[in-house]
C-alpha cells in the first residue's frame, strides 16, 4: 500500500542526554539503518567523532555507525 509518505520525522538518535531534535529521514534510509543494529540516524552536528563513524551524510542528518 502506498500512502504517499516520503519521509518520517524521527527523534535524533545521538548520545546527547535529553536531545529531542527531529530529523526528516527518507523511508529508504530509515529501513537501511534499522536493518543494521550498529547504524543510527543523527542530526548533523550531533555525531561523536570519538565513538561513531559517519557512514553517509543526507542534508540535515547523518547515518553513523558505532
The pLDDT value recorded for residue 3 is 59
The pLDDT value recorded for residue 19 is 97
The pLDDT value recorded for residue 6 is 86
Radius of gyration of the chain (CA): 12
CA distances from 7 to 10, 15, 24 (A): 9, 23, 6
pTM: 0.86
Q: What is the pLDDT along the chain (66 residues), one digit of tens a residue?
A: 455 668 999 999 999 999 999 999 999 999 999 999 999 999 999 999 999 999 999 999 999 999
Amino acid at each position: 500500500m502506498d500512502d504517499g509518505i516520503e519521509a518520517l520525522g524521527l527523534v535524533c538518535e545521538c548520545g546527547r542526554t535529553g536531545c529531542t531534535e527531529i530529523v526528516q529521514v527518507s523511508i529508504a534510509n530509515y529501513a537501511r539503518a534499522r536493518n543494521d543494529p550498529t547504524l543510527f540516524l543523527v542530526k548533523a552536528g550531533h555525531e561523536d567523532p570519538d565513538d561513531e563513524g559517519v557512514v553517509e551524510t543526507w542534508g540535515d542528518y547523518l547515518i553513523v555507525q558505532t
